[in-house]
Structure 1
Amino acid sequence: MGPVKMIKTTQTDFDAIVIGSGISGGYAAMELCTKGYKTLVLERGRAVAHGEYPTATMDPWELPHEDRVPQAEIATHYHKQDRLPWWVRQANKHWINKDDEYPYQEDERFDWIRGHHTGGRSLMWGRQCYRWSDIDFEANKKDGIAIDWPIRYADLADWYDYVETFVGVSGQKENLKQVPDGVFLKPFPLNCAEQHLRETVAKKFPDRIVTPGRVANLSEYKPEVHKGKRGQCMSRDRCWRGCPFGAYFSSQSATLPVAEETGNLTLRPNSIVQEIIYDAASGRATGVRIKDAVTGEQQEISARIIFCNASTVGTTAILLNSRSEAFPNGLGNSSGELGHNLMDHHYGMGASGILPGLEDTYYSGRKPTGFYIPRFTNIDEETKRADYLRGFGYQGEARRITNAPEGVVGSALKDVIFKPGAYSVRMTCFGEMLPYHENRMYLDFSKTDQHGMPLITFDAKLRENEHKLRADGVKCAVEMLEAAGCTNITSYNNATAPGACIHEMGTARMGHDPKTSVLNKWNQMHDVPNVFVTDGACMTSSGTQNPSITYMALTARAVDYAHKQILAGAL
C-alpha cells in the first residue's frame, strides 16, 4: 500500500472517523475520502501494507511441520481458534488472534475467529459474493419472525452494481430470483466433473442449479476499473495467505490505496477504540476515546460523523461500552436490542463421493472457486416446506485425487502420484439461522482483558429450526451426488457452534421502528444520527448467501446518504 500517514497526538479533529479497516471499513474510508472528507481509520491491530504477506510465495515444503501448527502451540495460543481443525495453519496463523491475548467468554459455545491487523478478514475471507433478493429482505415479515427489514432489493440493486464493478466479481448469469445476477467478470469455469454434476443434477432436479462460484478474484483485470494495487488472478489457490498480485479484493489491494491517493486518508494502527463519546446537549457523538495498544496512551479524537466497521462483534462491543447518563446500556440502545439477534450461517454438514469415469480428462491451475448451488427450498409456494423455515445453499468442488499406497517410496512413489485417480466431489451445506432475540452477546464488566476492556461474552446456539433444516440439507446433498453417479458417498452432520462459519451478523439491527431496532434504513442510528453501522452488526436476518458484498453495498449507500445529509445541513 505504500507509506501511510500515521498520527499519534498531533491531529485530533477529522471530518469522519471509520472504526475498523476490514471489508466494510476499507470501503467506507474510500467512499468518504473520494468525497473529500478528511478521514481517520482506526485499526486496533498492527499495520500490514499490501505485499507484506509472509507466506504468500512459499511452497508447501517450505512451511514448517508440513503446514501444521504443533499441538503445544495450539494449546497455548489457539485453543479456541483451532476448534475447526483445518483453520489454523503455518500458512495463515499470523492473521489469527491468539486466544491467550484476546480472550472471550461463552455461556454457549461460540467460535469467534478473527484477526487484528490492517485489512482484518479482508485478507482471509472466502471471497464468495452473492446478492440478496427480496426473498431474503421480505422473509421476516412473511414468516412473522423478528422484525421487518426496512429495505428491499430495489434499494440496493444499483449499489450492488456499483460495488461489484469496482470489486471485480467473476460469475455466470443464471437468471435466478433467489440469487440475482450481478455485474460479472468472466467466470472461473466448472471443470469437467463439476460440469457433469451440473448437467446430471439439472435432469433430475431442475430447480437445483450448479453454477461456478461467484468470487471476488479478478478473472479479468481492467486497470481503469479495478483501481488500487491489483492484477489478474494466477489461480494459485493461496488466497488466505494474502495475494501479492492483488488479484482478489482486499482493503490492502483495493480500497485503502484508492483512499490514500486522495490525500484525505489517515490510518492509525494499534488504536483500540474504548468508546464513542456522546454529547447529550447536541444529541450527537462528538468523537471517540482510544488507547494505543503499544504505549497505553489514551486520547480523544473528534469528528463530524462516525462509521462503525469493527466487525459485528467488535462494533457492538464498542457501542455497549459507550455508556452515558443518556444511554446507560450502550450508545443508541434505547430499544434494548443492542447485542441481541446474533446470527451466523451454520455448516459442518454436507456430503462427498467419488465420480467414476472422466479419467482421461484433467484441468489446469488451481482455480480460486468451485461450484455453488443456490437455495432451492422455501422460495415460493411450490418449494415451501412444512417442517422448517428458510433454506440453505452449497459450496463445493471436484478435484482429481491421487492414490499413493502406504509404504511406497522413491521412483515408485513418483510413478503413482503422477497418475491422477478418479474425481472426488464434495459439497458443504450453508444454512440460514433465524434471528432469535435470545441469541446474544454482552459485556462482562467484572472482568477485563489486557487493555482494560470488559470481556465479550456469547450466549447463542442453534435451535430446532436449524436442526431440521440441517437434516434436509444433508439429505439433498446425497441425492445430488447420487444423481451424478457418484460412488462411496459419505455424508456428515456435525452441528457446529455459531461463529464457525465466520459470517456473524446481527446485534445492532436495522428496522423501521426505533423501539425495536438500533438503525434506520440508511444504517444510521435512530438515537444518534451521526453514527452509522455498516458491518455485519446491521443485519436483520442472515439469508443463506455469503454477506460481504451486501456489507459493501450498504456501506457505499450509507456514505452517499451521509454526504447528502451533510450538504443539506442535516448532519
Structure 2
Amino acid sequence: MNDSAFINRNAQDTAGNTFDAIVIGSGISGGWAAKELCEKGLKTLVLERGRNVEHIKDYPTATMAPWEFPHRGKLSAKLFNDNPIAARCYAFREETQHFFVKDHEHPYIQTQPFDWIRGYQVGGKSLLWGRWTQRWSDLDFEANAKDGIATDWPIRYKDIAPWYSYVEKFAGISGNRDGLPQVPDGEFLPPMEMTVVEKHLKASIEHNFPGRNLIISRTANLSKALNGRGPCQYRDLCFRGCPFGGYFSSNATTLPAAMATGNLTIRPFSVAHSIIYDEQTQKAKGVRVIDAGTLKTTEYFAKVIFVNAGTLNSTLLLLNSTSSRFPNGMGNDSGALGHYLMDHNYRGRIFGEHAGFKDTYYYGRRPTGVYIPRFRNLTDKKEVDFLRGYAFACSSHRPQGNASGSPQIGKAFKDSLTEPGPWQMNMTGMGECLPEAGNKVSLSQDKKDQWGMPLLNIDCSFRSNEIVMLRDILQTGAEMLDRAGFKNITQLDSQQAPGLGIHEMGTARMGRDPKTSVLNGHNQVWGAPNVFVTDGACMTSGGCQNPSLTYMALTARAVDYAVEALKKRNL
C-alpha cells in the first residue's frame, strides 16, 4: 500500500467521490471486506479514521533488542499514569504503544467501568490481536433458541462452515484436527508443538476427567510459509508488527491482496460521521466523512456499504445515522440497536508449578498456547447452576533462575539466572457472557469529541450467570492442575471490568425479525438492504471461543451475497 493510493477529493466532486463499494474500517473484518469486494471487481473505498500503517515499513520496533528501549520494554511512569485504561491491556508496552489509542485522544463515558481498548490505524487491531481462531458450532448458534433468551441466530453452522474453510485457507491457521464437535476442525497448517509439561497435563486431564480435552491452540500464526508470507520465526513479538508476515493481519494479507487488483482506494484520517439514507430509494447512498485533520466534511457515494469500524464504533455510527425513516438510528426499528453488549469473562486465572521435567526445555518463543475447549453444558442435560460454558487458554514456561527464595541481588541471584527455573503453568478462563438488554451503549446528548461526534456512553457489567460461572472456572482449573501433580496452585479473580477481554460483541445483532434485531441472516441492515455490518457488532450471542475467525467468515459470506445481489439488481 502506497500513499499514492490515498485520495482527498473535493467535496463537490460527486463523480470523483463515487465508488462501487465503501468499507468503513480496515481491521480484521474490514480488510476481508475490501479484499473480497476488490477481487470481485468492485471499485472500493476503505475509510480509516487513523493513520496509514504500511506493512514492514511502519513496524518501527519489530527487530529492536530489549536494550534498545529506554525502559527495556516497560511503560514509563508518565505513559502508565496518562493511560490507566490502555495500560491495563497486556499488550500495551513501550514497544507497542504506538499502535494503541491513548486515553485522552478518544474519550468515552463509563456508566459502569468498561475498558475500551482500541487501535486506530490502517489494519486496526489486526496488528494487536491474540490470533486464537476456534470455529463456532451449532452448540453456539442454537444456544439462544434452546435457552429461550435474547433472540435466535438466523444462521446455523452449515451456513458458515464453508466460509470458515475459505478464510482459513487464505489467512493461514496452524492447528490439529482434534475431532471435537464443540470446536469443529478446520483447514489447518501443521500444529505447533506442545511443551513436555503441556503434554503431561493433557494426558492427565483426558485420563482423569472424561469429556475434557487439552489441544494446541488453533492460531493464525504460520507454521510454514504460505503465499509468500512467513513462516513464524518463534520470536513472540507479534504485537510489534511482523515483518515476516508470520501472522494474519490486514496489513500483511487482505489489504495487499485488495491493492493488487487495482480496485482499492484507502483514505486514512477519515472519521465516518453517518451513513446517508435516501428516502426515495429506501437504501443508503453514501457516507458522510470528517477529515480528522482539517475537520472538513466530505460525502462519498456507493452502491453498497460495509460497516466494519469495530463493534462499538460501528454501533455509534449507526446510532448517529438518523433520518426521517430512522429517527433513532439506522436499522433501529426494533430498539435493539445499542443493546446486548457482550465481552468474554477473563477474570478467572489459575497458576501452578511442577517440580518435574527439569531435563527438558522448549524451542524458541512459541506465539500461542494450549486450549481446553468448553466441557460444561454440552448436552441438553443441565449439569451446573449456570447457562453456557467456558474454555481455558493455557501456556507453560520455565522462568530464568529460581531466585524466589533468595534476595534478587548479588552473586547467588546472578548465578541462578544461568539456569532455567521450574515449569510453570497458567490457565485463564474464557467464560461466555449472556446477551442482556441492560448491557448497552448510547450516544451522549451533550458531550462530543473533537470531530463533533457524540461521545459513546457504555453501561455494561458482568451479571449473576457470569459470576456463578467464574467460581466454577476457578474450581475446575485448580482441580485439573492438582490432579496432574502441580504444586503452589493459586486461584485469582482479577475482578477486571468488561472490555478488557477485547472481544466486544453485540449491539447490532443479527436475527430473524426486524422487530427484534438490527440485521438479517446475511448481515444486512433491516430497512437499508445495501448496508452490511459484519464485525463484532453483528453477534447475537458470544460463545466462549475467540470471535475474530467468525467475523472473517461472516464478512466473506456477506460480500459474496452482496455482489450476487448487485448482479441481479436486487440492491
TM-score range (shorter-chain normalised) is: over 0.9
Q: Is 1:110 aligned to 2:111, yes or no? A: no
CA distance in 2, matches of 1:231, 1:83: 30
Q: Which amino acid aligns with 2:72?
A: E
Instruction: Report the Cα distance in structure 1 between the residues aligned to 2:252 and 2:494, rounded to whole angstroms.
Output: 36
Corresponding residue of 1:278: 277
1:87 Cα offset (Å)? 4.1
- State the distance in 2 between where 1:355 and 1:516 align: 51
Q: How does 1:400-411 map to 2 (within 5 A)?
A: 400-401=398-399, 402-404=401-403, 405-409=406-410
- In 2, are the aligned partners of 1:53 and 1:242 still within 8 Å (CA)? yes
Match of 1:69 in 2: 75
1:320 maps to what in 2?
319
Shift of 1:72: 2.6
> TM-score with structure 2 length normalisation?
0.97
Paired residues of 1:81 and 1:87 also in contact (CA < 8 A): no
Matched, 1:424 2:424: yes
Cα distance in 2 for residues equivalent to 1:353 and 1:74: 29
Partner of 1:47: 52
Q: Distance in 2 between matches of 1:243 and 1:356?
A: 35
1:210 to 2:214 alignment: yes
Deviations 1:410-436 (A, max 9, x none): 6x5553212112100111000000000
- What residue in structure 2 maps to residue 59 of structure 1? 65
The alignment partner of 2:461 has SS state of: coil
* Paired AA for residue 50 in structure 2: G
2:132/2:219 contact within 8 Å kept? yes
One-letter amino acid matched to 1:344: D
Q: Residues 257-314 of structure 1, C-alpha deviation per residue, up to 9 Å, x if partnerless? A: 0000000000000000000000111101010110110122210010000000000001
Q: Which residue identity does 1:46 align to in structure 2?
A: R
**Alignment of 1:168 onto 2:161:** no
- The amino acid that maps onto 1:149 is W
The structural deviation recorded for 1:66 is: 2.7
Provide closer, same or farther for how the CA distance between residues 385 and 320 of structure 1 changes in structure 2, counting only shifts above 3 A.
same
Query: Which residue does the alignment assign to 1:16?
Result: 21
Inter-CA distance 493–407: structure 2 relative to 1 (3 Å threshold) = closer
Shift of 1:3: 4.7
Distance across 2 between alignment mates of 1:171 and 1:281: 50
Q: Structure 1 CA distance, aligned partners of 2:333 and 2:409? A: 68
Partner Cα separation in structure 2 for residue 233 and residue 369 of structure 1: 11
Q: 1:184 aligns with which of 182, 185, 188?
A: 188
DSSP 3-state at the match of 2:86: coil
Letter in 2 for 1:530: N
Match of residue 560 from structure 1: 560
Structure 2: gaps spanning 5 or more residues: 11-15
Cα distance between partner residues in 2 of 1:3 and 1:261: 15
How far does residue 495 in structure 1 lie from its aligned partner after superposition?
2.7
Mapped to 1, the partners of 2:170 and 2:126 lie a distance apart of 15
CA offsets per residue over residues 189-208 of structure 1, 9 Å max, x none? 11101001100111101211
8 A Cα contact 1:150 1:521, kept in partner = yes
**Does the Cα contact within 8 Å between 2:346 and 2:428 map onto a contact in 1?**
yes
1:179-229 CA distance string (max 9 Å, x none): 101011001111101001100111101211111111000101132xxxxx6
Residue 226 of structure 1: aligned partner: none
The CA deviation string for residues 386-440 of structure 1, in whole angstroms up to 9 with x for no partner, is 4100000000111112223434446x55532121121001110000000001110
SS at match of 2:20: strand
Write out aligned runs for 1:203-242 (5 A): 203-223=207-227, 230-242=229-241
- Residue pairs, 1:18-417, within 5 angstroms: 18-51=23-56, 52-76=58-82, 78-84=83-89, 86-223=90-227, 230-381=229-380, 384-401=382-399, 402-404=401-403, 405-409=406-410, 413-417=413-417
Distance 2:9 2:436 in 1: 43
Flag structure 1 segments of 5+ consecutive residues without an equivalent. Answer: 224-228
SS at match of 1:529: strand
Superposition deviation, residue 2 in structure 1: 4.4
Q: Which amino acid aligns with 1:73?
A: L
SS in 2 for 1:290: strand
Q: Deviations over 1:313-349 (max 9, x none)?
A: 0100001001111111111111111100000101121
TM superposition shift of 1:380: 0.7
Corresponding letter in the other structure for 1:475: Q
Distance 1:385 1:440 in 2: 30
Q: CA deviation at 1:370?
A: 1.3
Q: How many Å apart are 1:63 and its aligned residue?
A: 1.9
SS in 1 for 2:447: strand
Which residue of 2 is the match for residue 468 of structure 1? Answer: 468
Q: Please give the alpha-carbon distance, in whole angstroms, between the structure 2 residues aligned to 1:7 and 1:18.
A: 15
1-structure distance, mates of 2:384, 2:347: 24
TM superposition shift of 1:55: 1.3
What are the Cα deviations for residues 38-93 of structure 1, in whole angstroms up to 9, with x where unaligned? 000000000110011111111222222232222333333x1222235x34210111
Structure 2: distance between partners of 1:2 and 1:331: 34
Deviation of 1:350 after TM superposition, in Å, equals: 1.8
Give aligned-pair identity as a percent.
Answer: 53
Maintained 8 Å contact 2:29/2:551: yes
Q: 1: CA distance between counterparts of 2:239 and 2:377?
A: 33
- Measure the CA separation in 2 of the matches of 1:172 and 1:3: 40
Contact 2:205 2:480 in 1 (8 A): yes
Contact preservation (8 Å) 2:21, 2:44? yes
Contact 1:4–1:260, Cα closer than 8 Å, also in 2: no
Pair 1:451-2:451 in alignment: yes
Contact 2:204 2:484 in 1 (8 A): yes
Opposite residue 134 of structure 2, the aligned amino acid is Y
The answer to whether the 8 Å contact 2:20/2:43 transfers is yes
TM value normalised by structure 1: 0.97
The aligned residue for residue 488 of structure 1 is 488
One-letter code aligned to 1:88: F
CA deviation after TM superposition for structure 1 residue 527, in Å: 1.1
SS at match of 1:40: strand
C-alpha contact (below 8 Å) 1:207/1:376 kept by paired residues? yes
Deviations 1:432-484 (A, max 9, x none): 00000111011103110111110001011111000000000110000110111
Runs of 4+ aligned structure 1 residues displaced above 3 Å come to: 1-4, 407-410, 412-415
Deviation at 1:493, TM superposition (A): 1.4
Contact 1:342 / 1:504 at 8 angstroms: preserved in 2?
yes
Partner SS for 1:216 = coil
- 1:351 is displaced (CA, Å) by 0.5
Residues 1:197 and 1:558: Cα distance change in structure 2 (over 3 Å): same
Whole-angstrom distance in 1 between the partners of 2:31 and 2:306? 11
Which residue identity is paired with 1:547?
P
- The answer to which of 213-222 and 40-49 deviates more is 213-222
Aligned partners of 1:20 and 1:389: how far apart in 2?
34
Aligned pairs, number: 562
Cα RMSD, aligned residues only: 1.2
- 1:500 maps to 500
- Give the AA of the match of 2:331: G
2:347/2:470 contact within 8 Å kept: no
Report the more deviating stretch, 3-12 or 210-219.
Answer: 3-12
Give 1:4 shift: 5.2
Paired amino acid for 2:77: Q
Task: Give the secondary structure class of the aligned counterpart of 2:61.
Answer: coil
Distance 1:359 1:337, change over 3 A: same
CA distance in 2, matches of 1:218, 1:552: 17
| Cα distance in 1 between the residues matched to 2:407 and 2:268 | 49
Q: Secondary structure, in 3 states, of the residue corresponding to 1:24?
A: helix
